[in-house]
Structure 1
Amino acid sequence: MKIKDLPKSELPRERLETYGAEFLSNEELLSIILRTGTKGSSVKELSQSVLSLCKDAADLKNLTLNTLESIKGLGPAKAVSLLASIELGKRIFIDTSYKDKIKVRNAAEAYINFGHEIFLKKQEHLLAIYLDTHRQVLAHKIIFKGTVNASLVHCREIFKEAFLESASGIIIMHNHPSGNTHPSSHDDQITKELFMAGKTFGVEIYDHIIVSEYDFFSYVEEGRIAYA
């Protein structure tokens, strides 16, 4: 049955207004986001096609723009709208879960909670995790992408966010697209620059972690903080 064939009281939008969003199925919620179908595909069928790509609702966060656009009838505009909604949901989850509850006390906890955000990237990405005195996460942010080096501009960006968040410490994390987490001379240099800047600004650098999909390297745990 297509949505247009349903009684008005059973349409997703009307059901949300009557019962609340929490009582709608994933398919109904997607139908509201997608709004309309296309020639040859109802909005219900489009929603089912999207969900068929996922084991569960949590899998929606892994969908890419290319994957969504490959669905017959789901054009660029609908794909972008859906991806934006998914991204907003991810950010809400991060703000309510990570920010308020997650403590990062060592490199393994940092990797488990945040490594997945960058370890599959095809370019190097540098992510900063901002912590309070109890090692509780205040915020995290990808500062830049490209070759990691000892640029003073990058240091300024990292510490500017620390001041905005009133952070007492920072964990720096970046990925090696090659999969080899052994630090390069550039990595050593940026680590030295960041630790020196941290001492100057009064914001401690708790660690610098290099990540790949299956491994990570911690400057602290490997005793390489002496570089600073």
Structure 2
Amino acid sequence: MSTHSLKIRDYPQNERPRERFIQNGPQSLSNHELLALLLGTGSREESVLQLANRMLSQFEGLRMLKDATLEELTQMKGIGQAKAIHVLAAVEIGRRIANHTLDERYVIRSPEDGAKYLMNDMRFLTQEHFVCLYLNTKNQVIHKQTIFIGSLNASIVHPREVVRP
């Protein structure tokens, strides 16, 4: 079977986004896996994971996707109006949550503050996660992003992956 027509049901059970979400929580999923869950289905030509990857590539990641219009999304092959609306609704919910918590920013003044901020999220992870905290000029966390999930004991990250967001 070619990887071009690989469907979710062809993936091993423990590699499917929905099952991993249930087993390990949403934080265990990559951006394209979370997007795949929102999209729900792929097409005859590509799996939902391939479609999500293509969408993130076209919009250069989540940063540009957050500003995508309904028209831009529906111009993509495999993205109809319903899928585009699901994605845009999720983006809007995220935007509203971010605006709501704007006043509750965590301040980081030391490495210990950074560790405290991340400890609950990272305590039980079984793989290396390269996580970046983006701060404003007042050292308040404005964004947290997992840049790379590595192996059991290593994460190899290029500096551009850190700087891009």
Deviation at 1:61, TM superposition (A): 1.0
Q: Identical aligned pairs, as a percentage?
A: 41
Deviation at 1:38, TM superposition (A): 2.2
Q: Partners of 1:71 and 1:49 in 2: how far apart?
A: 9
Letter in 2 for 1:26: N
Q: Partners of 1:57 and 1:70 in 2: how far apart?
A: 18
Q: Does 1:35 align with 2:40?
A: yes
**Rg: which structure is higher?**
1
More strand by share: 1
| Alignment TM-score, normalising by the size of structure 2 | 0.56
Identify the match of residue 64 of structure 1 among 61, 66, 69: 69
Q: Is the 8 A contact 1:12 1:28 kept in 2?
A: yes
Q: Partners of 1:58 and 1:20 in 2: how far apart?
A: 23
Q: Where does structure 1 differ by over 6 angstroms across 4 or more consecutive aligned residues?
A: none
Q: Partners of 1:16 and 1:57 in 2: how far apart?
A: 19
Deviation at 1:23, TM superposition (A): 1.4
Partner of 2:88: 83
Deviation at 1:58, TM superposition (A): 2.3
Letter in 1 for 2:74: E
Letter in 2 for 1:20: G
Q: Is the 8 A contact 1:49 1:71 kept in 2?
A: no
Structure 1 stretches of 5 or more lacking a match? 102-228
Calculate the aligned-residue CA RMSD, in Å: 1.5
Residue-pair matches, total? 100
Give the 5 Å matches for 1:93-112: 93-97=98-102, 99-101=103-105
Q: Partners of 1:56 and 1:31 in 2: how far apart?
A: 14
Q: Partners of 2:10 and 2:17 in 1: how far apart?
A: 12
| Alignment TM-score, normalising by the size of structure 1 | 0.41
Structure 2 stretches of 5 or more lacking a match? 106-165
